[in-house]
Structures are given as structure tokens and as C-alpha cells.
Amino acid sequence: MVKFSKELEAQLIPEWKEAFVNYCLLKKQIKKIKISRKPKPASHYPIAHHSDFGRSILDPVRKLARTLSDKLFSNSEKPEILQVRRRRNSSETGDDVEEIYQTELVQLFSEEDEVKVFFARLDEELNKVNQFHKAKETEFLGRGEILKKQLEILAELKQILSDRKKRNLSGSHRSFSSSARNSDFSAGSPGELSETQSEASRTDEIIDALERNGVSFINSATRSKTKGGKPKMSLRVDIPDAVAGAEGGGARSIATATSVLWEELVNNPRSGGGDFINRKKIQCAEKMIRSAFVELYRGLGLLKTYSSLNMIAFTKIMKKFDKVSGQQASSTYLKVVKRSQFISSDKVVRLMDEVESVFTKHFANNDRKKAMKFLKPHQTKDSHMVTFFVGLFTGCFISLFSIYIILAHLSGIFTSGAQVSYMETVYPVFSVFALLSLHMFMYGCNLFMWKNTRINYTFIFEFAPNTALRYRDAFLMGTTFMTSVVAAMVIHLILRAAGFSASQVDTIPGILLLIFICVLICPFDTFYRPTRFCFIRILRNIVCSPFYKVLMVDFFMADQLTSQIPLLRHLESTGCYFMAQSFKTHEYNTCKNGRIYRELAYLISFSPYFWRAMQCIRRWWDESNSDHLINMGKYVSAMVAAGVRITYARESTTLWLTMVLASSVVATIYQLYWDFVKDWGLLNPKSKNPWLRDNLVLRNKNFYYLSIALNLVLRVAWIETIMRFRVSPVQSHLLDFLLASLEVIRRGHWNFYRVENEHLNNVGQFRAVKTVPLPFRDMDSDG
């Protein structure tokens, strides 16, 4: 049977862990009570035993009589052994009242210090749970009020759009004829004046409709106009006082003049009678509000789980106290717990029911089953078939790799100088797939560790719970991928040994690459389509970094690309190899000595760092945090160091050697500082864990010290470019592949601590529900 402490640890919300009742602490205190109640050891002096105090044959009769008397008088009132008093304290602002519970013990327990400590801590935990629940409840109720107001505005706009569409269909011919007659008039012609009047009347219509829905306007009486004569104003929606208080005081408002919807709604109406309330932008606003409702419902569900788990914890701990003390104190205390705010309040349940009904009506066409698919997405369970295939493909990979090593040794590929073309042309293609498979394997290890350490990576990366990749799936993808690659390598060597023409055999890597691209972009719902399309979307966001809002998953993936520069270089040589048809001529120097190919090496080496730097600029622009500019400097220094090392590989002079040392040392120190201090949150000299941080997910602190040392060693792998540990071209390629693999391993190792630090930041702020941006923003947030 699983202990409740472990069950609670497995079910609690990780980000709210500190707000849960500290079950383990209370359990330890009960153990102290048990120890204090143990009888003291007998004195070493002998005690005289008298025969008069022996057992009597009437003892069973006396025991039966006591039992019967207890049953007969069980209904009589017994004095309560403790009293829990509730007092109310006003908050600092005076607007809120906090309920504080304090237990008073009767004379039975008054002399026991351990019992006093236990109930004092129990009261602290109860007060903590109540206060947290009330704060979150108030927050979610405020969100609900704001969302209802936003939904009302959205419904009004959709109605306006529908009504105008009907009128435009009836009067489209008349409007077109009027426009044609007035097309040759000057700026002050009656046709243009009537058009301006029509736009003004449409604007007044929207103003009247929104004012009926609680919208007020800033300077509406003296509203200005743009250069084109179009009205320009700001809108605001007044929030009820209850919501204003919930959100933090004052009469607050929602500014609806945003880039999402309102620029075209009021400031830039289309001329010519078209739909100047853009349907696409309304759909975008509807999607944002729908996502906000889903997150609100999720947060309410978490708060409901929070209440039930804490109630169970209080029940369990009081039963343990009854067992140790031999008294029935639980019934009295649990009555108080059940009357406390986090159990007695039904606002969360009522709001959940309201969200379900509203969502079903407005976003699911009154189809409750469809609505619940959004509100409660089904989480797929781990399949044993996935585990089976992971083991199967792992065994196939080991067997095929062993066969490949034997065939490569027999054919002399890694030893014969005549086989240099194989290493220059075919081997880079296979290296691409090998590095991808290794990276996927490391990501699977990350998912496994995050799951076992209760790190909520799906929330951090904002993955959909029902489609998020699990560690078994990642291992399956990696083993399937690598087994296919090794199988292609074995077939390639067998066909070469069988005497097939090299121009035919060397197309196998190209075919494998083509199959991989087809699987990646396959539109059918097979082989993890949500994950594949998410990957493509993230790559698009990275390449177009300044033009997309940067999320956690975007810059996390961009950091992965900075560790895959050798893979990108291999893709460059592979593309040139097939585009120049070198597989037919076997002139691999055609690409290697080309000027464009050599110049592209700089561009490819710079691109991941450049994209990452652009992300930093965009985040600085959005968040006004100067740390992002400092972080950008790290990637600029890495870009310079990469370019200098490429130049040194071609011009091995003392000047370039000095520049390699200087640029690489600066970039490495910069990267190590950011790794340890910013990304991992370590090296805090004031931490209770020496030179780490106060909160650690892993219990053994030595893992963190070893990780710091490992990251330090792998970060200075660039020293190999100076030392030149190379004997032959074959060994040179193998060493490059080894170093690239070590960088992928370092990145996978870095990933765990980076996400761990992000998770602990969420825990510190009790952030378990993401905030969805709304189309009608708060004026105070706009400055």
C-alpha cells in the first residue's frame, strides 16, 4: 500500500507545492509526541513484588462491566478536549478580512509541550491553506468577470458585422454605381463627401452599440481625425467595482484600442462600404478569448484539486494524532476545517459550471461534448506497445551497428587512403542523421528526468497536454530514426562490395534524406503530426525571430540549434554534393574548393547565433528588460569566435591564432557565466547550499557540482581546433563527429537544469496557469 505522503507528493500541483499543507512536518511532530509519551525506563533498584497485587479471576468480569458501562453512557455529552477559535484580522488596506484559526487545549493536553507545538503548526498550515485559496479564488473570479465583459463586446461586434453584411448585400449595386459616377471627381466632390458621411455614420453606429454594452469613450466629444479624415479615438470598458477590487484596487478599465482588433475598428475604416470590422481579426479575438476561458477553467480545476487534497491531508494527520494521543480530537478539529474557507466556499464550483455553460454556448454551438474536449482534453496514457517497439528498435540498432562496424573494417573504409571519397561525400550525410538521433535521444532523457522530478515541462513550453511528446515517444522516434540510418549504411556498404556502380549506390543517402523530409511535412495524421507541425512552426518563428513574439519554446529550440552547427555544415556539404551531382563524378573537391561554398560556411556558422541574438532584441523590445541585451552580447561574442576559428582553419598564422585564443576565451567565459548564473541559477554565494541555490530539485547536491564541472570541460572543446589532434583525413572526420556528439550531449545535459530553474521560478511565484493576452487590454498595462 502506497503511503499517503508519497501519494500526496505525486498528485499535488508542483507550482503550488509550498502552499499545500506540510504533511511531512506535521507527521514528524506526531512522532515527537509519540516519543514523549513513552514511559520512562524503570529504575535500576529492585522493586518488591507482593503477591496481593497479582491477577484475579474476577478481572474479566470487571473488564466486561467497564465495557458495558461505556456503551450505556456513550450518548452522554463528553467535554471537548480542544477548542478552535476563529478571529478576524483586517488586512493592511482595510478592504479585506482574514480569518485566523487558533487552537486552545484543555487541561488534558495543557502540560504537554509537543502537543502545543503540533496544534500551533496545524493552525499555521490551516491558515496558510485558507489564505492561499482565498487569494486564488479572488483572482479567478476577477478573471471570470473580465472574460464575461470581453465576450459581451465580442458578441456585439459579431452582431454588427452580421447586420452590416445583410445590408451590404441589399445595397451593394447602388453603392457600386455611386462610386463609379464619382470616380473622376475632385477631392471636394459630393461623392467623396457622401462617402465620408457614410463612414462617420457607421462609426457612430458602432459607438452607440458599444455604449449600450458598457463602453465609454475618452474625449469622444472632441475626437480627432487622422490625415485621411477618419475618426481617431480611444475606447475603454469600465470594470465593476468588485472586479476592480479583485484585480488590485481603483476603478480600472480595459483599453480596446489594440493592434489585434481596434485599429481597423475605429481608426482605419475601409472606404467604399466594405467590412471595416474585419472578420479575420474578430476570429483572432474570439480565439484569444476562447483560450483564456480554457485556462480559467484549468485554473479552477487545479484550485478544486488543491482543496480536496488538503482536506484529505488534514483528515489523515488528525487520525494519526488520535491514534497516538488516545483521544478523539479529530472530530472537533475537522468540523472547523470543513467550515473554513477553502472547503465551505462554493464559488469555484459555481464558476466552473458557468464557464462550461458559456463555453458550450459561444464556442461549441451548444455541443457540450465538443466543449469538454477543449476544457478537459483527454490525456493519452503510456502504451506498452511503445515500450515494446523501443526495445525492438534498440536491439535492431545494436545488431545493425555491429554489422556495419564489421563490414567497414573488412572493406577498409576507415583505414585505406583510397576510401577518402566515402568520408568526404557519403559520411557527412549519415552524420546528419546520427546527430539528429542523438539529440532526440537526449531529449527523451530530458523528458524522463523532468517527469520523474515532477517538473511541469508541458506548462513551461505551453504544450497541449493531449499531444505533448512523452519520453517513450521520444525514445521511439530516436531509435526508429537511428535504426533506419544504420540499416541504410549497411545496405550502402553491401552494395558497394557487391560491385554496383558508385553513382547508383551513393544516391542512397539522398533517398534517405528525401524520405525524412517527406515524413516531416506529411499532412496526414500519422507519426506524431502535432509534434512535427509544432517543430516546423517553431523553426519558422526562429528564422523570422524579430517578427514573432518569442516564447520559451522558441528560444529553447534556438539554443539547441547553436549546438548543431556541425550538423548544419554537413547539410551544406550534402546539398552541394547532390546539387552538383558529385555522386556521379565523385569529385568531392568541387564543393570543398568553391568560393560560394567557402563563404556559406560563415553564414551557416553565424545563423543560429544571429537568430538567437534577434530573439534577445525582440524580448528586450517587448519586456524592456536590459538583461536580454546583455544576453545578446553572449551570442555576438560566440558569432565572432566561430568566424575567427573558421578563418584560422584556412589561414594558420600566428595572428589568427592569437585572435582565436582571445575571442574564444572571452566567448567561453561569457557563456559559462550565463550558463551557471542566469540559465541554471547557480553559483549563489549566499545560498544555504554552498555555491548552488536555495531550492534544488535533485536531493543529492553532488550532482550539481559534477554538472558544473562537466559543462565547464565540454565548453572548452574548441581547444582541439588549436591543438590539431589529427593524423589522417579519416581520423579528422571521426574526431569532428566525436566533438559534435559531445556538444549535443552537453546541450542535453544543459537542458535539464535550464528547465529546472524555470520550473522553480514558477514555483516561487505560484504560477500554474498561464496568462492569455486578451484583445481588449487593460489601460494601466499600456502605460
Alpha carbon of residue 532 to chain centroid = 18
Q: How confident is the model at residue 19 (pLDDT cuts 50, 70, 90)?
A: very high
Mean pLDDT of 506-511: 82
> In the predicted model, is pLDDT for residue 329 greater than 90?
no
Element (H, E) at 85: strand 82-90
- The CA angle 723-726-730, to the nearest 5 degrees, is 155
Least confident piece of the model among 239-243, 388-392, 612-616 = 239-243
DSSP track, 239-255: PPHHHHHHHTSS--EEE
Query: How far apart are the C-alpha atoms of 31 and 323, rounded to whole Å?
Result: 11
pTM given for the model: 0.80
Question: What's the DSSP call for residue 777?
Answer: E
> In the predicted model, is pLDDT for residue 706 greater than 60?
yes
Q: How confident is the model at residue 94 (pLDDT cuts 50, 70, 90)?
A: low
Cβ neighbours of 213 (radius 10 Å):
13
Least confident piece of the model among 161-170, 224-233, 312-321, 539-548 = 224-233
> In the predicted model, is pLDDT for residue 408 greater than 70?
yes
> How does 437-455 read in b/e, with b if 16+ C-beta sit within 10 Å?
bbbbbbbbbbbbbbeeeeb
Write the CA distances from 484 to 140, 445, 475, 526, 583, integer angstroms.
50, 21, 14, 18, 21
Bridge partners of residue 215, in order along the sequence: 237
> In the predicted model, is pLDDT for residue 672 greater than 90?
yes
Mean pLDDT of 257-269: 41
Cβ neighbours of 686 (radius 10 Å):
8
Query: How far apart are the C-alpha atoms of 275 and 773, rounded to whole Å?
Result: 25
pLDDT of residue 730: 74
Per the prediction, the chain carries an average pLDDT of 79
Higher pLDDT, 240 or 749: 749
pLDDT of residue 579: 74
> Which residues, in sequence order, are CB contacts of 190 under 8 Å at separation 6+?
182
Least confident piece of the model among 157-166, 229-238, 473-482 = 229-238
Residue type, 641: A
Alpha carbon of residue 167 to chain centroid = 46
Mean pLDDT of 341-346: 91
Q: Where are the alpha helices (DSSP H) in 522-594?
A: 529-543, 552-562, 565-579, 582-585, 589-592
pLDDT of residue 222: 43
> Which residues, in sequence order, are CB contacts of 87 under 8 Å at separation 6+?
99, 100, 102
Query: How far apart are the C-alpha atoms of 312 and 478, rounded to whole Å?
Result: 42
Least confident piece of the model among 51-55, 442-446, 464-468, 750-754 = 51-55
Higher pLDDT, 86 or 262: 86
DSSP track, 269-318: PPSSS--SS-HHHHHHHHHHHHHHHHHHHHHHHHHHHHHHHHHHHHHHHH
Cβ atoms of 463 and 769 closer than 8 Å: no
Is the Cα torsion angle 511, 513, 519, 522 positive or negative in sign?
negative
Q: Which of 217, 42, 245, 45 is nearest to 135 (CA)?
A: 245
Mean pLDDT of 687-716: 93
> In the predicted model, is pLDDT for residue 670 greater than 90?
yes
Cβ atoms of 425 and 506 closer than 8 Å: yes
Strand order in the sheet with 234-238: 215-218, 234-238, 253-255, 777-778
Mean pLDDT of 402-429: 75
HSE on the CB side for 309, CA within 13 Å? 25
pLDDT of residue 276: 45
> In the predicted model, is pLDDT for residue 677 greater than 90?
yes
> In the predicted model, is pLDDT for residue 59 greater than 80?
no
| pLDDT per residue as tens digits for the range 749-769 | 999 999 999 999 999 888 888
Least confident piece of the model among 95-109, 417-431, 524-538, 659-673 = 95-109
Mean pLDDT of 267-277: 43
Least confident piece of the model among 210-214, 283-287, 633-637 = 210-214
Write the CA distances from 278 to 359, 446, 662, integer angstroms.
23, 44, 56
Q: Where are the alpha helices (DSSP H) in 182-277?
A: 190-211, 241-247, 262
Instruction: Name the range with the highest mean pLDDT among 35-49, 98-112, 138-152, 162-176.
Output: 138-152
Q: Calculate what percentage of the chain has a pLDDT beyond 70.
A: 73
Query: How far apart are the C-alpha atoms of 681 and 394, rounded to whole Å?
Result: 36
Alpha carbon of residue 401 to chain centroid = 36
Higher pLDDT, 623 or 220: 623
Burial class (CB in 10 A: 0-12, 13-18, 19+), 11: exposed
Q: How confident is the model at residue 590 (pLDDT cuts 50, 70, 90)?
A: low
Bridge partners of residue 224, in order along the sequence: 232
> In the predicted model, is pLDDT for residue 565 greater than 90?
yes
